[in-house]
Structure 1
Amino acid sequence: MKTTYLSRITRVAKFEFLRFFKWKQELLTVGLMCFGFLIAILWPMIIAFFESEQRIAVFAEGQLPDVAQVEFVRLPPVDRQRAIDAIGDEYDGVLEVDGFSMTLHVEKSAGWQDSVRPRLRDWMQTRKFNALDLDQEQRDFYHEDIPIQMLYTSRADDEDAEAAETERRGRGLITGGILMLLFIGVINGFALMMSSITQEKMTRVTEQLLTLLNPQEWMDGKILGITLHSLKSMVLTGGLLLLLLNGMHMAMVGGFMSLPLTFWVFLNALFFLIVGLLLVNSFLAGFAATIDDPNHSSRSTVMFIPMLPVFLSFSIVGSADSAMATFLSIFPLTSFAAMPIRVAEVGVPWWQWVLSVSLMLATLYWARRLAAKLFRHGITMYGKEPSWKEIWRVIINT
């Protein structure tokens, strides 16, 4: 009997996965990933190739500004009018300096002016500072960087503070990426579950299928198949973002980007994401069966409730040791999003992790049974939707 059950839900899961899986589209996505990675690496050279150098005449004494892709030409005051008349032909702009005020003459607004203005302001601030009656020691004292020493009492005394700060930023990038991928998985499951179940209900296909399968087998296979498709979308999106970030890092800094991602953090995040998607899709599957027509049903907005744990978990990024973070990581309806953040940012006591996993798995078992009962109750109702009272009765009796 067990083999029959597994073979049946596997067949349904394979059908649901291949129903939305298009291999040509996947190859196109991978190709776009590689193309985006290549563009990110070559982007600085592309910009340099298309960017033309601007030529600006300057009427000022002393050192001229130093701005990339801009050539400053010093001219005598007698050439002022001639230079202004030559804007657009010989010069792209004329910079007049009167004391500590500046006037930039240009023919029309252009993008290069946005990058030049801040550098000109910095140049003028330097001129104003150099005009002060200060000796070299005072100037050096003013320009001296003020370091901030970070001492972490919970870490080893010989740990480098700068390395700890870099690791903290890396952990923030990891937790942000986990939540973003989870959001993509939930959205994907919402769209596919809503379209598949409501379409089958409207076309009365499920009535024929239920002569071969019971509602629990049909729900388990559908939840598993769409969850696999959501995981596929998350993996492709995560790979694309990782390639783009590495490409930008190679172009701007050099070398591959390193993240403080340990095997335990990765394995823990993967486990909670998979179980979380199964839990979310169980809720979506059961509730979608109570909707008669998604285009006119007022209760379709309730399907967005599974996104709430993801939004709540964004609030604990950077404060994963707070009481709120502890509660969200243990509560079974939010732990799938909050616990990976806590594990990635701070240490989690073993008993909290075990309690969180136990409650989440128990809730998943209850949710899949609830999905099957709601499916059995709602799939045969055409022309109307079960009332909230009927739905609540099913929930209570699960």
Structure 2
Amino acid sequence: MNTEPRTRLWLTSPHFYPTYGGAQNRYRSYIRGLLERGLDVEIMTGTPQLEERSEADLDAGWYDAEPGAWLPSDMLDGAPLERVRLPDTKGGERTRIYYEALLEVCSRPAAGPVVAQLLTNMRPAASPWIRKLKQQGVAALYSVSQYPTWPQQPIKRLTRKGGYRRVYNEFDALVTNSPALEDFLREIGVTTRIEYIPNGVRLDRFHPVGDAVEQQARESLRASFGIPETATVIAMVGAIMPRKSPDLVLQAWQRLLPEFPDTHLLFVGPRADTHDPKLASFGEKIAAQIEQIGRPQQVHFSGVVDNVEAHLRAADLFVLASQREGTPNSLLEAMAVGLPSVSTPFIGISASTGKAGEQFLLAERSPESLAGMLRRILLEPDLRQALAAAGRDYVATHLDQQVTLDRYAALYRELGAAAVRRHDG
């Protein structure tokens, strides 16, 4: 019998659920597996900034509370979720309230080590609070899941790199999901421990249609969008925002329509373009594109959903057109479902997603090239089947989430125990 005290793990981000990004969604998928491995998982989060809110946040009843107030607790996938009311706009007060709340929850009595896994929105201003966490005996980790954005001006770029280097070096460890990101961190002078752990895919969730029940679910979901079973559906997963390039996908689809008039687009993810005031012009651009193409009944938006896998099984092809990613789980999950997939190049692309030309096709970053690759898949059944089989096999062989979970659980226990020894002297 294992008599070691259980490690308490705080997954924490200024927003986690229902508003989420790729990192939050990925770590959410880890919760049940980490619980099964004996960690006491809890979530500490806040309320989204005004421009980050999704349609799922609008009726939550959070926004009458004063900043700094604790909101009613909840449960998410078996883990307790604590939420603090944060100011609606970014700034020093939002940062202070969030990190003071994190210090508070991490200081609660625990039978064993305490680990804080921070996920997103890391800024150099967080350094003092990271040091305080470690002084409390908490192991602090940060997940670096995509490249930061750099200013164009060289002096500002140099200053920002220095700020990131300093705050990253405050952590006990950084976890990255891409070898290219690990190389980047070393290039900017990060000296703290870096662990490369692939995202992993839940193969029990993300798999091809396997039985009559899943086939019926596929047909029902398509029917809910008004998509005929005979139509071909091209799916994209991610928030509707400039970095994900849904406008490029629309341009490519427009070029396919004369030859493939029965193709539909299914955008799976939050409508950031309609809920973020800063993206109003981008939302107008998307709406104008759809109107100009003249097939609005063939463009579908799911909004925030918890069953991404069902939406992927309702599709026939997958496209990724992001400008910047770490390791895009949406592509890996689509491959696991058996969807022939096309990606455009993005900042952060690496071998962790498989080999272009074998597991997926790589188009140039233009509507013509993206349309051309999609056209190949539509016209060549043998290619379609080969990509589906090779993509699924690659993910099942190299990216089973069970292996990822084993590595995370071991890392959290190791760093938690080391933090206790450091604190106790």
- TM-score, normalised by the number of residues in structure 2: 0.24
TM-score (structure 1 length as normaliser): 0.25
Higher relative contact order (CA closer than 8 Å, sequence separation 6+):
1
Rg larger in 1 or in 2? 1
